[in-house]
Structures are given as structure tokens and as C-alpha cells.
Amino acid sequence: MKIKEGFVTREIADTIVAVPTGQLVNEFQGMIKLTPSSKFVWDLLQEDTTFEELADQLSKKYNLDIHKAKADLEKFINNLKASNLIEE
């Protein structure tokens, strides 16, 4: 899975956002506010990866129990899928 191509991330007034560019503006109008940990996952999703790989990287980066990392990751991925932002 990976994020659809055509998004850029920016930091605006201490807030990290992802915004669509090009034709994606027609599909997704708005922006996505990212926390530092969700930005970390967002960056990993620029390349095709698996849920397990993401959870492992998130767990290592933030010193989380793998079960906590998976639970948090599942919520984030489900939100991205609900907005049709993930290619599988």
C-alpha cells in the first residue's frame, strides 16, 4: 500500500499538513493535518509497503509496544482509506 501520488507536505505555523496537487485537487479538496508520528508514517507510505513493515518502523521510531503501534496505525490507515488516499 502507498499514498496516492500528488500530495505535498508543508509545515505552516508549527502545523504539518498534506495538500493535494494537480488532478488530485479534483478528487480531494482540503488538507490533512499530520502529527509528527503520522507524518513519519506518511513519509513511509511514499513507497509501497505493508502494514506490518509500517507497524515495525513506527514501534522502533517511537519506542512503542508493537500492539500499541498497530492499533494507532490501523486508525490512521483506515482514515486514509476512507478518504480514498491509499493505493493498494
For residue 26, the model assigns a pLDDT of 83
For residue 75, the model assigns a pLDDT of 96
**Where in the chain are the domains?**
2-87
Question: Are the C-beta atoms of 72 and 80 separated by less than 8 Å?
Answer: no
For residue 29, the model assigns a pLDDT of 81
Answer whether 0.85 is exceeded by the pTM: yes
The C-alpha atoms of residue 46 and residue 36 are separated, in whole angstroms, by 16
For residue 27, the model assigns a pLDDT of 82
Give φ, ψ of 15 to 5 degrees.
-120, 130
pLDDT in tens, 31-64: 899 999 999 999 999 999 999 999 999 999 999 9
Task: For domain 2-87, give the CATH number.
Answer: 1.10.10.1150
Decide the pairing of beta strands 7-12 and 15-20: antiparallel
For residue 24, the model assigns a pLDDT of 83
